[in-house]
Homo-oligomer: A and B are copies of this chain.
Amino acid sequence: MFSLRPIGYVKSPYKTTEEVPKGLGAQHNAEGVLEILPELEAGLTDIEGFSHLIVLWVFDHQIVDGKTEFELLGTPPNDDRPHGVFATRSPRRPNPIGLTVVELLRREGRRLHVRGVDMLDGTPVLDIKPYLSNIPAEKLQRGWLAQAEARQKK
């Protein structure tokens, strides 16, 4: 359909997928840096005012010879039963795009220092968008994840 180009890369403390916290109650407090390409730095103008950013990135470890393998049903690390890929955050998706909400700690030129990275070091970034609003808590339902959490508490 169209060619994606990285707008930058993630600097992360995680070098392998095994190091990334997973499962119920996993905390994502790791600090990292989103390093944007020099020619795109103007696109960061006024980003400092936002406390949180939505980062789209590539599960590039899922891509082999330009092709991606995916699983329509998979058992996530935080449950013991399978769910559809579109009801999970599995990396094995038809389009291997990851999404992470990070807290913006500070900007240094084309480097955004952020908290909450769960990407590997060197991950290509596709897009950054401001986080603008929440879903009202009383309206939010979290499906199988809420059920898995309830089972774990028993």
Q: Which of A28-75 contact B (CB under 8 A)?
A: 36, 40, 42-54, 56, 58, 60, 63, 66-68, 72-73
- Chain B: which residue is nearest A85 at the CB level? B43
CB-CB under 8 A for A89 and B129, given A94-B40, A134-B137: yes
A142 engages B47 (CB within 8 Å): no
CA distance A45 to B5 in the complex (A): 32
The contact size tier of chain A is 35 or more
Copies in the complex: 2
Q: Which residues of B contact A97 (CB under 8 A)?
A: 56, 97, 126-127
Q: Which of A64-94 contact B (CB under 8 A)?
A: 66-68, 72-73, 82-89, 93-94
Main secondary structure of the interface of A (DSSP, over half): mixed
B42 engages A73 (CB within 8 Å): yes
Q: Which residues of B contact A60 (CB under 8 A)?
A: 1
Q: Which of A108-152 contact B (CB under 8 A)?
A: 124, 126-135, 137, 139-147
CB-CB under 8 A for A72 and B1, given A140-B51, A144-B46: no
Which 7 A-B pairs rank lowest in CB-CB distance, beginning with the nearest?
A: A49-B143, A45-B84, A51-B141, A134-B134, A42-B72, A86-B128, A43-B72
Tell me which of B48, B94, B99, B135 contacts A52 (CB under 8 A): B135
